Amino acid sequence: MRVPFNKPHFTGREAFHISEAAHIGQLAGNGHYTHLCQDFFEERYGFRKALLTTSCTDALELAALVLDIKPGDEVIMPAYTFVSTANAFALRGAKIVFADSNPLNPNLDAGSIEPLITKNTRALVVVHYGGIACDMKAVMEIAARHQLYVVEDAAQCVDAFYNDVALGSIGHLAAFSFHETKNITSGEGGMLVINDALLIERAEIAREKGTNRSAFARGDVQKYEWVGLGSSFLPNELTAAFLYGQLEHLDIIQENRLEVWRKYQRQLAPLEEKGYISLPYVPEYASHNAHLFYLLTGSQQVRDGLLTHLAGNGVHAVFHYLALHRSPYFIEKHDGRKLPNADRYEETLIRLPFYFGLTDEDAALVCEAITSFFE
């Protein structure tokens, strides 16, 4: 492909920090670089507690453990999301209740939440699609009324904001991803953010295999022992060192990605004006982080034709999530409600090539190929 879907960006600092981690001599997790990364996020974004994990999937599974989700509990989340969002809570025996997306963008429709709440509902999970904030004021008000926990699936959200508040700092818990397709990467990697002080100790215990190792290391307790349920969620220090090399260049990365996003927006606006496509809707309260750029076509037939056309022109574009309420695993478990907006995004959304350093020429090639398909 002339224009690939993704290219991981390397700042040049990753190798230095990996070498430093090896020199320090502690390669297992929760060492010097783990704490550097966690401190960075806490200080820059106001997270109460940040804990690195091996992936965002692990961060979500850790969240379900921390909330002590059990069989019979119900968890509400959008149907239009990656399977990890649901898997984390299904593994704990929860009943997953899928909500529809809103008509303007793939985020959960806050207005659809309250009718789904029952006496068994324990948590709401919101997904900020593409780093574009959900209506968190509405979500948190609903959660407060019904005494529910809120988990932000912030996999795509480093350096994205709701008004002036960082995504991931609003819910009781939040999960981030540092997969190679994300703005900031460690190849694989993730992070759990804990904003409710009452959940911090439980999170540290669950992350350290159910032990009080973190408290022991700080000198808070005299014995290191098994005190609860948990698993091994810690990344190694080499992964954390790589991540820190990326964090040092966060502002440079973000400036470049925002410019790529604006290139697409400018060049594709005429097609939206003619009604051929719809471009990302960003509410006034959202400051996105240029994680991805998507467009919507008028039908699945048009979407599939456009993807074939782009591939023939050397452009690797992709469709995104398949709505989970219609998935082979869940379709028999779904309560039968129609979720038309989730279905529409499944059938009509295309993600365009997007990465640090996408050139003007390649952006133009992508946009010209899209334009030639319609005109």
User: At which of 247, 278, 298 does a domain end?
Assistant: 247
Residue type, 216: F
- Asked if the structure places residue 5 within a domain, the reply is no
pLDDT of residue 227: 84
| Interaxial angle between packed helices 300-312 and 340-348, expressed in degrees from 0 to 180 and rounded to the nearest 10 | 20
Alpha carbon of residue 48 to chain centroid: 19
Claim to verify: residue 218 and residue 350 sit in the same structural domain: no
pLDDT of residue 143: 98
Claim to verify: residue 243 and residue 254 sit in the same structural domain: no
Claim to verify: residue 214 and residue 239 sit in the same structural domain: yes
User: At which of 207, 226, 247 does a domain end?
Assistant: 247
- Asked if the structure places residue 3 within a domain, the reply is no
Claim to verify: residue 228 and residue 336 sit in the same structural domain: no
- Asked if the structure places residue 8 within a domain, the reply is no
Alpha-carbon distance 203 to 180, whole Å?
25
pLDDT of residue 375: 87
Which run of H or of E encompasses 286?
strand 286-287
What six digits make up the tokens of 91?
A: 């593994």
Claim to verify: residue 220 and residue 344 sit in the same structural domain: no
Claim to verify: residue 221 and residue 362 sit in the same structural domain: no
Claim to verify: residue 188 and residue 264 sit in the same structural domain: no
Claim to verify: residue 137 and residue 72 sit in the same structural domain: yes
- Asked if the structure places residue 310 within a domain, the reply is yes
- Asked if the structure places residue 226 within a domain, the reply is yes
User: At which of 187, 219, 247 does a domain end?
Assistant: 247
Q: What is the pLDDT tens value at each position of the chain, 375 positions in all?
A: 799 999 999 999 999 999 999 999 989 989 999 999 999 999 999 999 999 999 999 999 999 999 999 999 999 999 999 999 999 999 999 999 999 999 999 999 999 999 999 999 999 999 999 999 999 999 999 999 999 999 999 999 999 999 999 999 999 999 999 999 999 999 999 999 999 999 999 999 999 998 878 776 777 777 788 888 999 999 999 999 999 999 999 999 999 999 999 999 999 999 999 999 999 999 999 999 999 999 999 999 999 999 999 999 999 999 989 999 999 999 999 999 999 999 999 999 999 999 999 999 999 999 999 999 998
pLDDT of residue 307: 98
- Asked if the structure places residue 108 within a domain, the reply is yes
pLDDT of residue 222: 75
The boundaries of the domain holding residue 302 are: 250-374
Domain of residue 268, CATH code: 3.90.1150.10
Tell if the pTM clears 0.85, that is, is over it: yes
Claim to verify: residue 32 and residue 151 sit in the same structural domain: yes
- Asked if the structure places residue 4 within a domain, the reply is no
Pick the closest to residue 114 from 93, 138, 135 (CA basis).
Answer: 138
Phi, psi of 345 (to 5 degrees): -70, -35
Claim to verify: residue 44 and residue 163 sit in the same structural domain: yes
Domain of residue 201, CATH code: 3.40.640.10
Q: Residues 6 or more apart from 52 whose CB is under 8 A from it? A: 29, 34, 37, 38, 189, 190, 191, 234, 235, 240, 243
Claim to verify: residue 173 and residue 256 sit in the same structural domain: no
Claim to verify: residue 78 and residue 159 sit in the same structural domain: yes
Number of domains forming the structure of the chain: 2
Alpha-carbon distance 321 to 133, whole Å?
18
Strand ranges of the sheet holding 95-99, from the earlier edge strand across to the other edge:
49-53, 190-194, 173-177, 149-153, 121-127, 74-78, 95-99
- Asked if the structure places residue 1 within a domain, the reply is no
pLDDT of residue 331: 95
